Amino acid sequence: MQIDESLLKPEEREIVEDLVVAAVNQAKQRMEEMIAEKMKEATGDLPLPPGFSL
């Protein structure tokens, strides 16, 4: 991913790109945690059978 250089100072481009990647990774992790919590609520915390994963 690259950000249009006309939108920021050239020396800041790499820092901003790193921050965007970190934000996306954090959002993905939070989403996975929320899904796991909702599945736990839906299944009553019952373990999944072998071979099943969510």
Residue 48 has pLDDT above 80, yes or no: no
pTM above 0.75, yes or no: no
Tens-place pLDDT, residues 5-43: 788 888 888 898 899 999 999 999 999 999 988 888 887
Rounded-to-integer distance, Cα 24 and Cα 44, Å: 30
pLDDT at 1: 62
pLDDT at 53: 67
pLDDT at 11: 87
